Structure 1
Amino acid sequence: MAMTLVLVSCRAPMQAPTPTPEVVPLYFVASSSTHPLLNDLASAYTRDNALVAIINQTTTGITLKQILMQPQANDVAASYALTTYLPDEMDLWAAALGTDGIAIIGHPALAVSSLTAGQLRAIFSGTAENWRELGGSNQVITVVSREATSPSRQAFDAQVLGLRPTTLRARLATTPGAMLDIVSQTPGAVGYISMALVDQRVSIIAIHETESDPPILPTPQSVASSEYPLRMPILVVGSQEPAPGDGYYEFILWAQQDNGQSIIAARYAPLP
């Protein structure tokens, strides 16, 4: 009698693999001043949105126009940028997240604790060359400025210098860290930086419009109330408006609402 051997598998039938959800990358570029804020926002947002990856790229020496409107001309791939200055001639979509203050910083031993707007203009244009001219000690003023493509430089120039050029004697700092290093290590030095990035190595110089006005230091409160005069908006900008469902829309909306605004309010003035 012929016998047939039948093998029966003990394993369950094979199941079709469950598709792995894809992570949605959101590409942003930040200036050296807004890079820390974008990192803070991205870290908080991605904790609650695990399928989103926010790619934070920092660049110097490249303008917003080159990044967002001429992407083929550079190595930075980004759909939106976080910046503190938007030139009027650039036709870009923009949304506000808050307001930053431009802090005027000096060497820690600097005897001058406040300046008027006119005195600040005289310093950075090169008209004033010695602190003695401004009520300080007999010490040469060393001006420290950001590079021409820096949003902080562009905002500072627009509000303080107008059409006047920065003195040719100015030393250039290409990052906020370099600004802090140069000012803190150079007697008589003065520069500027986002108020959120100031540290204990430098002194902060208060600003008043005229001698009769009280000097004001940059704080989230004084910037929010517009008492502090040197302010710059924190903007998300892009070549087009984001659309619901594209990831960018949801992140920007979150940054404008409670959780995002609480992060911004820690070091900046939040939205009204």
Structure 2
Amino acid sequence: MKIKVWFWVYLLGIVTACTSIQLEPPPPSPTPIRVVITPLIFPLIQDSHHDCAAQNPGIAVSLEILPQSSLPADQTADITILMGEDFITKGIFAYQLGWEDIFLVSNPGVSIDLANLEKVRWEFLDSQRNLSIWTYPEGHILRTIVEEIILENGHFSPNAMIASNPGEMVDTILQDPEAIGYIPGSWLKEGIHIIPLDPTIQARMRQPILALTHQEPDTLLSAYLSCLQSSWDQRTK
């Protein structure tokens, strides 16, 4: 009797040892996605980026901020998000996320009437008053746009002071009662006065925000880009 019992125990052990255990395969690792943006549009994209990254668990998005001047040399980003159309070249896929308006702005205490565009233009070109004229470094996309549209391809007065970024210009305009400059709409703060322009001119100051890729996006990238577009549409309604 004992022999039979041990025989069945032994047989059961053999069967168990030969039976493969079915394990669930591990979930796939998220695909790393490198997204590069410019400092100009960080206020526009930060919330949408976090929301869309969370809604697409199949990707692991790293967000980097680089100056626009360094972007043409950067070929390693999966997506580059910037203002304007200067970097759309052959072999680049471009997807518009939305628009950004650029405004001429001043401190509310400025001592002259800036409702006339000619006055503003001449102050930018050759200010002879005690105004604080502010611009950006040469080659900065905002300066290029304003010199083309507002100054009619002219150049800022050599007396103009230089702000390195819109945040610095905002702080200066808030503090200096005679300050005049220009910033993207997403950088506006309470206490900054928008200088009114003719609607046709202000319309030209509206710039596209584009997402650029070096190859046609796959399903994961497309889902992330579509989410950014939808988020932008919802925010601007």
TM-score range, shorter chain: 0.7 to 0.9
Shift, 1:43, TM fit:
1.7
Show structure 2 runs of 5+ residues with no match: 14-19
SS in 2 for 1:252: helix
Q: Percent identity among equivalent residues?
A: 18
Q: Show the counterpart of 2:108.
A: 108
1:80 and 2:79 are equivalent in the alignment: yes
Out of 152, 158, 166, the residue aligned to residue 168 of structure 1 is 158
Shift, 1:178, TM fit:
0.8
Q: Show the counterpart of 2:211.
A: 236
1:180 and 1:201 in contact (8 A); partners too: no
Q: Could you say if the C-alpha distance between residues 61 and 47 of structure 1 is closer, same or farther in structure 2, counting changes exceeding 3 Å?
A: closer
Q: CA RMSD in A?
A: 3.2
Q: Show the counterpart of 1:222.
A: none
SS in 2 for 1:100: strand
SS in 1 for 2:138: coil
Whole-Å separation in 2 of the counterparts to 1:151 and 1:54: 26
2:173 and 2:192 in contact (8 A); partners too: yes
TM-score by length of 2: 0.78
Whole-Å separation in 1 of the counterparts to 2:121 and 2:139: 20
- Pairs within 5 Å for 1:203-218: 203-208=193-198
1:85 and 1:152 in contact (8 A); partners too: no
1:31 and 1:59 in contact (8 A); partners too: yes
What are the superposed Cα offsets for residues 18-55 of structure 1, whole Å, 9 maximum, x if unpaired?
Answer: 32321223222222121122212212212322232332
Q: Could you say if the C-alpha distance between residues 36 and 24 of structure 1 is closer, same or farther in structure 2, counting changes exceeding 3 Å?
A: farther
Comparing both structures, which one devotes a greater share of its residues to helix? 2
Whole-Å separation in 1 of the counterparts to 2:88 and 2:210: 16
Aligned partner of 2:79: which letter? Y
TM-score by length of 1: 0.69
Whole-Å separation in 2 of the counterparts to 1:205 and 1:28: 34
2:98 and 2:232 in contact (8 A); partners too: no
Aligned partner of 2:110: which letter? L
Shift, 1:102, TM fit:
0.6
Shift, 1:262, TM fit:
0.5
What are the superposed Cα offsets for residues 142-175 of structure 1, whole Å, 9 maximum, x if unpaired?
Answer: 1111233433233223322343222222222222
Whole-Å separation in 1 of the counterparts to 2:87 and 2:32: 30
Whole-Å separation in 1 of the counterparts to 2:212 and 2:118: 32
Q: Higher Cα Rg: structure 1 or 2?
A: 2
SS in 1 for 2:115: strand
Q: Could you say if the C-alpha distance between residues 128 and 172 of structure 1 is closer, same or farther in structure 2, counting changes exceeding 3 Å?
A: closer
1:23 and 2:30 are equivalent in the alignment: yes
SS in 1 for 2:122: helix
